[in-house]
């Protein structure tokens, strides 16, 4: 499993940020970002959350949660999940019911076309 530092470096590079640019966004020094990437220093939970938001991934992804890795590396899916999470409970239930119905229909169609 990849370390926090290697995940951070990978995400930073994919987004095209230098260590200095990323450091400025979280109000720290580029040398600290380098230490995070080399796993010499562990960031606080708040710093991990800030980095995740800037890099459009979840804190869980950066911390090595492999189950989240595939889904939440996609910034569009991540944004949708964050948007849905901010809704009230009734709206969430409505959206989830629609997603469930769509997935059920898609699976049924697939089963009949095979």
Q: Are residues 31 and 54 in the same domain?
A: yes
Task: Give 61's pLDDT tier (boundaries 50, 70, 90).
Answer: confident
**Could you give the percent of the chain with pLDDT greater than 70?**
90
Domain with 107 in it: 76-113
The answer to whether 62 and 6 have CB atoms below 8 angstroms apart is no
Domains in the chain, number? 2
Q: Are residues 67 and 34 in the same domain?
A: yes
The answer to whether 96 and 80 have CB atoms below 8 angstroms apart is no
The helix, strand and coil proportions of the chain, stated in percent and rounded to the nearest 5, come to 75, 0, 25
Q: Are residues 96 and 58 in the same domain?
A: no
Q: Are residues 85 and 48 in the same domain?
A: no
The answer to pTM > 0.75 is no
Cα gap 15→85, rounded to integer Å:
24
Q: Are residues 41 and 69 in the same domain?
A: yes
């Amino acid at each position: 499993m990849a370390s926090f530092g290697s995940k951070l470096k990978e995400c930073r590079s994919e987004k095209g940020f230098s260590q200095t640019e990323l450091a400025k966004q979280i109000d720290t020094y580029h040398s600290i970002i380098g230490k995070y990437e080399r796993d010499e220093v562990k960031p606080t939970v708040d710093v991990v959350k800030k980095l995740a938001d800037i890099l459009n991934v979840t804190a869980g992804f950066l911390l090595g949660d492999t189950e989240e890795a595939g889904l939440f590396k996609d910034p569009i899916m991540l944004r949708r999940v964050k948007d849905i999470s901010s809704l009230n409970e009734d709206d969430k239930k409505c959206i989830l019911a629609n997603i469930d119905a769509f997935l059920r229909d898609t699976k049924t169609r697939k089963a009949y076309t095979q």
